Amino acid sequence: MKLRRSCGILLHPTSLPGGRLGAEAYRFVDWLAAAGQSWWQVLPLGPPDEVGSPYKSPSAFAGWPGLLAEPDAPVSAPERDDFVARQAFWIGDWAEFAGGDAIADQVRFEREWRRLRVYAAEHGVRLIGDLPIYVAPGSADHRSHPELFQERFVAGVPPDAFTADGQLWGNPLYDWRALRAQGFRWWVERFRRTFELVDLTRLDHFRGFVAYWAVRADAATAKEGSWRRGPGKDLFEAARDAVGDLPLIAEDLGVITKAVERLRDELGLPGMHVLQWAFTEDTGSPHRLENHRENGVVYTGTHDNDTAVGWWGKLSRAERAATGLDPADPGWSLIRLAYSSRAALAIVPLQDVLRLGSEARMNTPGSESGNWRWRLDAGDLTSASATELRAAASAERR
């Protein structure tokens, strides 16, 4: 997918006033259009886990009924039958796992999401999703397809900028040999489902498709893991043969090797640049402004970063001076820097537009509490903020 020069906002639907789709979602689309934004990026749309994380969902395919504006809307038998016929690969597994009104809930989710997507498109706004690489332990996918997963090892990442012990995610790891023997069917269907819902998606932990960090299930920390080879290009070629174009953003953050960069480039995927990491003495850092790629996506910060204002507040006086940002308005200074990047697409978390501090942070990696809770107040989105953002975007031909 060739990205054109444009910009968008990162906001999960749970952060809308009320935390659901419906009127507030449509108002947000109206605000995006008024602000000159072409994209709305969300986090994964599946049911979250017990602490609210959408990255450890009990289903890699289902939409979360908790987002529904009309959770009790009637569903006809023909609607159910049509949905089951179109989604036969996974809906039976999910219905057996979730029970109750599971199929009707998915019909409702598809109905509401489709209407919102059409409305957004009519207003010049397209949707960016987020596709987690792993499934949750004990999820519908894990239970229904145990032959596709390893037994004694779980997922994580080695020590990085976020945590000294790495991150012990605990998700089941794929048995890539078993998946390959089936023509990667499970992943093909996952890509197919994803692009029924969004126009473009961020592919989480892209480096794991080259090599992934495997940790013994009984390990105390992720430091005890080791690298193992992933499926590489074969997976994506199989998916393209079955689905067609794969409009993906490669989340190429963390321990990135030449092999990871090579696969990203062979597939023609845009990677990510995060400006909070741009002010480093490492002249080779992909996050430094001069190293941004045109086929790339620049973020002021991601859902895993502090807000721009919160990040600024934790810098020393010398670190602040080295950024060259306006100390009177560092968050918006960072937004303008993102818009000036040669990267084709610039995405800004809404918290940065609203100049919010660490109290509005969405997630702190490695922390089990206090995440995924931030929510807009009704009235936070004003015509003045839309005008300000449109002017900043226009100034840089976004």
> Which candidate in 110, 304, 329, 388 is catalytic?
304
pLDDT in tens, the chain (398 residues): 679 999 999 999 999 999 999 999 999 999 999 999 999 999 999 999 999 999 999 999 999 999 999 999 999 999 999 999 999 999 999 999 999 899 999 999 999 999 999 999 999 999 999 999 999 999 999 999 999 999 999 999 888 776 788 889 899 999 999 999 999 999 999 999 999 999 999 999 999 999 999 999 999 999 989 999 999 999 999 999 999 999 999 999 988 999 999 999 999 999 999 999 999 989 999 999 999 999 999 999 999 999 999 999 999 999 999 999 999 999 999 999 999 999 999 999 999 999 999 999 999 987 878 899 999 998 999 999 999 999 999 999 99
Residues in Cβ contact with 196 at an 8 Å cutoff, skipping those fewer than 6 apart:
none
Q: Give pTM, 2 decimals.
A: 0.95
Phi, psi of 344 (to 5 degrees): -65, -40
> Which candidate in 189, 204, 252, 352 is catalytic?
204
Name the residue among 141, 271, 148, 287 with its Cα closest to residue 205: 271
Task: Give the whole-angstrom CA distance, residue 211 versus residue 353.
Answer: 36
The CA R_g of the chain, rounded to the nearest whole Å, is 21
Residues in Cβ contact with 383 at an 8 Å cutoff, skipping those fewer than 6 apart:
34
Task: Give the whole-angstrom CA distance, residue 179 versus residue 190.
Answer: 13
What are the angstrom distances between the C-alpha of 295 and each of 107, 191, 291?
A: 36, 21, 12
Residues in the chain: 398
How many of the other CB atoms lie within 10 Å of CB of 102? 18
How many of the other CB atoms lie within 10 Å of CB of 99? 8
Bridge partners of 226?
Answer: 214
In one-letter notation, the amino acid at residue 258 is: K
Instruction: Determine whether 204 is an active site residue.
Output: yes
Instruction: Determine whether 93 is an active site residue.
Output: no
Instruction: Determine whether 72 is an active site residue.
Output: no
> Which candidate in 251, 252, 306, 352 is catalytic?
251
What are the angstrom distances between the C-alpha of 251 and each of 143, 145, 309, 393?
A: 27, 26, 24, 24
pLDDT at position 162 is: 67
Task: Give the whole-angstrom CA distance, residue 50 versus residue 372.
Answer: 11
Task: Give the whole-angstrom CA distance, residue 252 versus residue 131.
Answer: 13
